[in-house]
Structure 1
Amino acid sequence: MTRAKTGVKREPLVSAQEVADFLDIPLQTIYTWRHRGKGPKFTMVGRHLKTKWSIVDAWLEAQDDAA
């Protein structure tokens, strides 16, 4: 299968582990937040949680605004 070129530049997805490492928190915290409806939004891709850095950045900004 080949991908059609659309000219749209897409942001790569990052794993829950990468986000946990970046935030310096345990991976389990990401899972707990997701279960409780907190934290940055993740999407299931197959069996894996994925998100975009822009979503993580926006969530962090919102945390700064709420503090």
Structure 2
Amino acid sequence: MSASTAPEWRPDPLLTIDDVAVWLGKPKNTLYAWHSRGKGPRAIRVGNTLRYRRSDIERWLDDHTDPER
């Protein structure tokens, strides 16, 4: 038998609001406000906390990057 060459599946890391605030350089209150207004990166409610998929943050950043000049 040969070993599988398919890459091992790993879950997309869930980041805390503290992680995202540091990454984006924004206060946590700004992230909470964006979430309540339906703006900013997509968040997941886990119990009473917000979590963010790393891929959603990266996608949001790509979507909000100024075009090259």
TM-score scaled to structure 2, two decimals?
Answer: 0.78
Question: Gaps (5+ residues) in structure 2?
Answer: 1-7
Provide the aligned length of Structure 1 versus Structure 2: 60
Q: Deviations over 1:22-60 (max 9, x none)?
A: 111100000000011100000110111001111000000
Comparing both structures, which one devotes a greater share of its residues to helix? Answer: 1
Which SS does the other structure have where 1:33 is aligned? helix
Q: Which runs of 4+ in 1 moved over 6 A?
A: none
Q: Which protein shows a greater Rg?
A: 2
Question: Gaps (5+ residues) in structure 1?
Answer: 1-6
Give % identity. Answer: 35
Give 1:1-67 correspondences, 5 Å limit: 8-64=9-65
RMSD of aligned alpha carbons: 1.5
